[in-house]
Chain A
């Protein structure tokens, strides 16, 4: 049973470009969470999605950031017009069932560097 998969593992973008980060949850998991880890900090919650639904995006910046989890395919975190402050590690996690206390399993992360 493959774990949570993320790609790319490393992404370099110039200021003003777009970044698209992909996450495939574990098999049988229909709940996806995105977290951001800034240098020297812990992970911060960004968004929680179920298939075709955004459940909670309270941790996501209001502008330039969007997330989706379509019926088919991976979850996508999209950052438009990236700035240097977007440089961070972005982690996706998944869980099998409804929210509550289900353990979240993390992917290896995508490390975004904005030049």
Chain B
């Protein structure tokens, strides 16, 4: 199974907040990442958090990290139709990124 786990689907109404959750396994990961993948496209780095931080905010994005529970979340405020995509969380060990299977976010009007 996957070392990094995410829920597979999230449906959210336009204008609401989206919260995507992730659990990871490697407590030595010093950075944790969120990537966005639109259909047929590559991965776009959205944001990342250093492991000694609890929270990071970047415009509409808020990342929360609970290192004790190895839980990472991404909150997207005021979700727009352009936010529809697959979101991957990833941990890094040395130079190898390990990804979850991705959460498909669908924004409905």
Q: Interface residues, chain A, CB within 8 Å of chain B?
A: 4, 6, 31, 33, 35, 40-45, 48, 55-56, 59, 91, 93, 95, 99-109, 111
Contact = CB atoms under 8 A, between A and B. Distances in A.
Contact of A104 (B44, B97, B98): B97
Contacts of B4: 42
A56 B95 contact: yes
B42 interface: yes
B5 to A, nearest CB: 10
Given A101-B30, A101-B31, A48 B42 contact: no
A48 B48 contact: no
| B-side interface mostly | strand
A106 to B, nearest CB: 4
A42 B42 contact: no
Given A42-B4, A42-B101, A107 B95 contact: no
Contacts, number: 62
Nearest to B33: A103
Interface string B20-51: 00000000001101010000111111001000
Contacts of A6: 42
A42 B100 CA distance: 5
A4 to B, nearest CB: 8
A106 B100 CA distance: 16
A108 B101 CA distance: 18
Given A42-B4, A43-B88, A45-B96, A103 B101 contact: no
B20 to A, nearest CB: 14
A40 B100 CA distance: 11
A107 to B, nearest CB: 6
A91 B95 contact: no
Given A42-B2, A101-B31, A48 B95 contact: yes
